[in-house]
Amino acid sequence: MVQTLDEGGAVDPWRRRSRRGRRQMPLWQELPLLLVVAFCLAVLIRTFLLQAFFIPSGSMEDTLLVGDRVLVNKVVYDVRDPKRGEVVVFRGTDRWAPQVDEEPDPGFVGKLGRTVGDLVGVSRPGEKDFIKRVIGLPGDRVKCCDAQGRVTVNGTPLDETYVVRDSPLDIPPNPRECRSRRFEEVVVPPGQIFVMGDHRLVSQDARCQGPVPIENVVGRAFTVVWPSSRWNALSVPETFADVRGPAVAAPDAPPPVRPTPEGGVVLLLPLTAALWGSRAFRTVTSSRAT
């Protein structure tokens, strides 16, 4: 055992006492403290930075499967707006019908577990939580279809290789349901986005439920984190790089003057009268001067 000696060679009692005061906390006391700290950190991260979301339906297959968990960046849209092709989580408006069944009353214990899970971001989503892909931005003109059955944005067709099961073309478009692939041109309103699911046959999206306010967007889903066999980044498909921005209308300008015979006569008469008046004035003035 090594002892601390003072200058005279004696053992320093103060240092021995301070060493005793630095003894480690027992595990039964340290473990609850660590759990509380971890829980607080998880709540802070879930509230301000990142949140895990459970996929309850097949509207995004095969990009996302039922049971997948995705990680959502909740701060990215505080510094910029959403971009075409990104997968986003948002709160549906009153027009949007829920795509998950309402669960029966789980009782007090179930509600407590749901609350804790909601705080740390591992519970099932609510009825108004949706996940879709951004197709159109404010001002974009979105419609389907072109001659090859593709969705177009501002006249540019999308090669949507991520769409495995598309809606049929033979069903007539109906603004009240999303079963048809075809829909009339939609001009996305300011401050809103046009979103669609990757599994178009079952997805209830902006085709029949309308665009989504950007302020309702929770964040961008950027990776699949569970199960581990499906770890994958949710990148933006290359086809969206070819989409041009919406055409901006030119400011109002005065109509051009067209040289019609009638217009020529109208323009010529005032000019002739002015010249004649000027000449007459000079004649009268010169006669008075003489």
Q: How far is CA 101 from CA 98, 112, 271, in A?
A: 8, 20, 80
- Active-site residue, selected from the candidate residues 57, 74, 132, 180: 132
Cβ–Cβ < 8 Å for 89, 131: yes
Amino acid 100 reads V
18 catalytic? Reply is no
Integer Cα distance of 111 and 202 in angstroms: 30
Burial 19-54 (b: 16+ CB within 10 A, else e): eeeeeeeeeeeeeeeeeeeeeeeeeeebeeebbbbb
Q: How far apart are CA 220 and CA 71, in angstroms?
A: 8
Asked whether 233 and 222 are in contact (CB, 8 A), the reply is yes
- The helix or strand, by DSSP H or E, that contains position 183, with its residue range, turns out to be strand 183-187
Considering 59, 167, 180, 203, which one is annotated as catalytic? 59
Long-range pairs for 102-108: beta carbons < 8 A, 24 or more residues apart: 102/127
How many CA within 13 A on the CB side of residue 23?
6
- The angle at the Cα of 196, spanning 193 to 199, to the nearest 5 degrees, equals 170
For residue 123, indicate whether it is catalytic. Answer: no
Active site residues: 59, 132
